[in-house]
Amino acid sequence: MKYSFKRLWNRTFLFVGPAWYLLVWMIWSSGQMQTTGEQITFLSVVIPGFLLIYGSGFFIEEWHNRKQAKRS
């Protein structure tokens, strides 16, 4: 790879983030969630989900680095 994984992962999320936001906004403004409980449930799944996916990239990188270190 020409760039580090971390740099590529962050660059990917610069493009994925706005698309994710657009999808969330479309769902939010569709009127499907009518009660406060539904809205809180939606946000409590979407926001941690985005952060979990973002953070998993760094876990994968660390796992890959450990695997490479064992080989050498």
**Residue 2 confidence class, pLDDT cut points 50, 70, 90:** confident
pLDDT attached to residue 1:
60
**pLDDT tens column, 10-56:** 898 999 999 999 999 999 999 999 999 999 999 999 999 999 999 99
The yes-or-no verdict on residue 3 having pLDDT over 80 is no
Cα pseudo-dihedral 37, 38, 40, 43, rounded to 10: 170
Find out whether 61 and 9 touch, Cβ atoms under 8 Å: yes
Centroid of chain to Cα 14: 11
Please give the model's pTM, rounded to 2 decimal places: 0.73
Q: How far is CA 48 from CA 40, 60, 67, in A?
A: 12, 18, 28
Q: What whole-number distance in Å separates Cα of residue 67 and Cα of residue 22?
A: 37
